[in-house]
Structure 1
Amino acid sequence: MTTSDPDIVIVGAGAAGIGASRRLSSRGHSITILEQLPRAGGRAWTYATSAGPVDLGCGWLHSADRNPWTRIAAELGFTVDRRITAWGEQFKNLGFSGKDRAAARNAFAQWNEEIRNNPPASDCAADAIDPNSSWTPYLQALSGYISGEELEHISVRDYVAYDDASTDNNWRVPDGYGQLITSALPSDAELRLGTTLESLDLSEQKIVLQTSAGTIRTRAVIFTVSSNVLAGGAINLPSVLDPWRQAASLLPLGNNEKLYLEILDGGPFEDETHVLGNPRDNTTGAYYIRPFGKPVLECFLGGAGARACSATGGEAAFDHAINELAGLFGSDVRKYLKPLAASNWAGTPSIGGGYSHALPGHADARLQLAQSFDDRIFFAGEATHTTDFSTAHGAYESGQRAADEAMAALLVPVETSGVNRR
């Protein structure tokens, strides 16, 4: 069947797609959003559990003082918690003494100083590690949390661009960051959930999209899919878009997963506390305990730890997390912990991982990926942002940027824009 012909089709209903749709809707354009998942939000997902809502995807309003989601939260009536969190602290110094924490932080500070004052010619973040440091596993664990990948795969230029632009204000939404993001979707946007884009044809005057639910013809398309999806072969794209696929392949998604454990009555766990499982193991989890006083414990995994979680499966991953916690709090804590929920971003075909990082020597791929094609195809998503990649606000801003580009292109008569088309 053939569906209606909207002004613009947005592929992906995550933060970037919602950002684009809000801009376009405010200007009166008809929009269709295609989303392969049965829900909106993409990598923002507030999941309902018996212990309360938890964010399986993004959970922190990073650089919250300049984050557009902070303003949107106020507009939509969401509470934003601005308290300083326990992230980076170690509850009662369990397994990570104050002396060791100071030494580990010093190693991280030295690495940061090295990449700024004497960046390696290779642009490879691992080449700035002090070879004599005993804290390399700690640095690799941090890289996993920050970038989703070990330092051998991280561009120094890319990392510094993000770090220099970010602020220390990291706030939270008690009702869920994912809930905030999906609540911002404009009511007049046509959202088609569970709809896969199969192919795109540029040979006609209008762009022809073949989807799992039929054919759509439109003047402009905004892609907000993840870099892994764009670089892969799931969508049949014309060869003229190969340079965008190549750019996306240089900005792969790292690995980041979350596990949530329900805290049963009792136990040694206190509200708003945090521990690192094993600072000398690059696969370790970072555990945030009783956020907002909820009876849950969040385990955040990055890089090697997230890959191990995906490879072994949920049960083994929960066992590993509980073992790490038992090593800190004592074996008796096992009876207070119950597996509750887990993400599987690497195993979600329409996403394929956590968030993007530039490979060494390829920070400029973000600019390349953000370029439009022929005033018809536009690209957004966190991977296209040069400083706020890996964040929901970077994705949102990229969606607004792509929407502005698409609207400007729509003002140009078809017969004078781009190449001649039959």
Structure 2
Amino acid sequence: MTEAPDIAIIGAGAAGIAAARRLAGSGLSCLLLEALPRPGGRAWTCRAAGMTLDLGCGWLHSAERNPWTRIAEESGFVVDRSPAAWRDQFHDLGFPPAEQRAADQALDRWSGRIADDPPASDRASDALEPGGRWTAYLQAISGYLSGDELERVSARDYAAYDTAATACNWRLPAGYGTLIAASLPASAALRLRTPVEAVALDGRGVALRTALGTLQAQAAIVTVSSTVLAGDAIRWPSALDPWREAASCLPLGANEKLFLEVVGDGPFEPETHVLGDPHDPATGSYYIRPFGLPVIECFLGGAGARAMADRGSAASFARAVDQIATLFGESVRRCLRPLLASDWTGTPSVGGGYSHALPGHAVARAVLARPCDDRLFFAGEATHATDFSTAHGAYQSGIRAAEEAIAALEARGR
């Protein structure tokens, strides 16, 4: 590898692309090294059966303050501002209105305790009502939001996100992954299928070993997932042990998606939603015919996503069809066909969905965000104090890390 950029960026997901955007025009050259055969990281828009589908992030959360909203509009992307149907149960199937109200009230009470009277243990589960009827429902919600059970979720961390988030959620018909991948500046060099094997602090700079050779840079911005940073796929210098310990306290939860194609006629109305079973913590959440497309988008989190990793996508497709048929009637089986499935847990350069802090470790986000020796800078959704688990949190962290790197090199007299 002959390139010798001023700054190397490890990972070309939302954080890495944001860092490259900030470096553009700074006078510093940058090179992104990406293990996957595509940019975007956990933002991935696929084409299947002639449709554009997001296998990773799909919603512009907190859209009115989400920087990707502005980037989309400036780049000519259509932003769909239709309200999300998540909180609605189509025709109250399998979830009568009185139960929906009771479940929502249980969620509101639990969220209020987390915010106003958090448990001393910092375990989100310790804010549950003992013997509460809706514990399974709240565990399912935790699966979607954090990818894990409440016993392994920091109450303080959850409250930080919940307080900062808004109820404004918009979408991109062209795909969130399409937008993020298209946002890499032309001035940034990109090498795909180039996983970094080792990182070393070398002289005054950084050495990154890959299968194509060793790259020298004055500094590096590390945007790998917390799973990768804490793991052994990359050999890290011992100076990073505190960062790796922090990453281990911010594990990626289990989050996956399935898409079922709707073939022929069926009772599925566009832009509707059902929860498979509100009394099952592993239940799927089914968004029906988004944008009017003939698909059902199934969200799996926590126990449901882990079951998919353990048993394979075929078993999860079958279970999704079973839940949908229970609600809509057995006749719908004939018009549902497995189409597309994610495998974020099984992707070596990712290793899961998005981060959550373990109880007692919300402070790990600030530790992970610190620069190391003014040569290694850290970005990614796990480093954001409040907007973790989102592409806009990743973006903001990438901007921060790039500015830190620029300041460090200027101080060195670059």
Aligned counterpart, 2:90: 91
Q: CA deviation at 1:309?
A: 1.0
Q: CA deviation at 1:112?
A: 1.1
Where 2:142 maps in the other structure, the secondary structure is helix
Name the CA shift for 1:354/1:381 in 2 (closer, same or farther; >3 Å). same
Q: How does 1:263-282 map to 2 (within 5 A)?
A: 263-282=262-281
Aligned counterpart, 1:39: 38
Aligned counterpart, 2:291: 292
Cα distance between partner residues in 2 of 1:357 and 1:302: 13
Q: How does 1:2-81 map to 2 (within 5 A)?
A: 2-81=1-80
Aligned counterpart, 2:330: 331
CA deviations over 1:139-192 (Å, ceiling 9, x no partner): 000000011111001111100100101111000001101101111011121100
Q: CA deviation at 1:126?
A: 0.1
Paired-residue identity, %: 61
Q: CA deviation at 1:267?
A: 0.7
Cα distance between partner residues in 2 of 1:108 and 1:273: 21
Where 1:47 maps in the other structure, the secondary structure is strand
Moved more, 24-33 or 391-400: 24-33
Aligned counterpart, 1:255: 254
Q: Does 1:372 align with 2:371?
A: yes
Cα distance between partner residues in 2 of 1:158 and 1:245: 19
CA deviations over 1:109-137 (Å, ceiling 9, x no partner): 11112112221100000000001311100
Aligned counterpart, 1:418: none
Aligned counterpart, 2:397: 398
Which consecutive residues of structure 2, in runs of 5 or more, have no partner in the other structure?
none
AA matched with 2:93? L
Q: Does 1:162 align with 2:153?
A: no
Cα distance between partner residues in 1 of 2:413 and 2:241: 24
CA deviations over 1:264-292 (Å, ceiling 9, x no partner): 11010000000000000000000000001
Cα distance between partner residues in 1 of 2:293 and 2:128: 39
RMSD: 1.0
Cα distance between partner residues in 1 of 2:321 and 2:202: 56
AA matched with 1:110? R
Q: CA deviation at 1:28?
A: 2.9
Cα distance between partner residues in 2 of 1:175 and 1:200: 36
Verify the 8 A CA contact 1:60 1:172 in the aligned structure 2.
yes
Cα distance between partner residues in 2 of 1:205 and 1:168: 46
Where 1:53 maps in the other structure, the secondary structure is strand
Aligned counterpart, 1:356: 355
Aligned counterpart, 2:135: 136
Cα distance between partner residues in 1 of 2:56 and 2:77: 18
Verify the 8 A CA contact 1:51 1:294 in the aligned structure 2.
no
Verify the 8 A CA contact 1:107 1:135 in the aligned structure 2.
yes
Aligned counterpart, 1:389: 388
Where 1:48 maps in the other structure, the secondary structure is strand
Aligned counterpart, 1:316: 315
AA matched with 1:332? S
Q: CA deviation at 1:218?
A: 0.5
Verify the 8 A CA contact 1:272 1:292 in the aligned structure 2.
yes
Q: CA deviation at 1:259?
A: 0.1
Moved more, 23-32 or 244-253: 23-32
Aligned counterpart, 1:420: none
AA matched with 1:108? L
Cα distance between partner residues in 2 of 1:412 and 1:387: 30
Cα distance between partner residues in 1 of 2:214 and 2:115: 51
Which consecutive residues of structure 1, in runs of 5 or more, have no partner in the other structure?
416-422
Aligned counterpart, 1:184: 183
Verify the 8 A CA contact 1:370 1:378 in the aligned structure 2.
yes
Cα distance between partner residues in 1 of 2:50 and 2:118: 46
Cα distance between partner residues in 2 of 1:240 and 1:355: 25
Where 1:200 maps in the other structure, the secondary structure is strand
Where 2:214 maps in the other structure, the secondary structure is strand
Where 1:202 maps in the other structure, the secondary structure is strand
CA deviations over 1:77-119 (Å, ceiling 9, x no partner): 0000111121111000000010100010111111112112221
Cα distance between partner residues in 1 of 2:293 and 2:42: 22
Cα distance between partner residues in 2 of 1:188 and 1:413: 23
Verify the 8 A CA contact 2:205 2:375 in the aligned structure 1.
no
Q: Does 1:228 align with 2:223?
A: no
Q: CA deviation at 1:413?
A: 2.4
Aligned counterpart, 1:419: none
Cα distance between partner residues in 2 of 1:86 and 1:28: 46
AA matched with 2:244? R
Q: CA deviation at 1:204?
A: 2.0
Where 2:337 maps in the other structure, the secondary structure is strand
TM-score w.r.t. the length of structure 2 is 0.99
CA deviations over 1:214-255 (Å, ceiling 9, x no partner): 111000000000000000011111101111000000000000
Verify the 8 A CA contact 2:249 2:358 in the aligned structure 1.
yes
Verify the 8 A CA contact 2:124 2:150 in the aligned structure 1.
yes
Q: CA deviation at 1:414?
A: 6.9
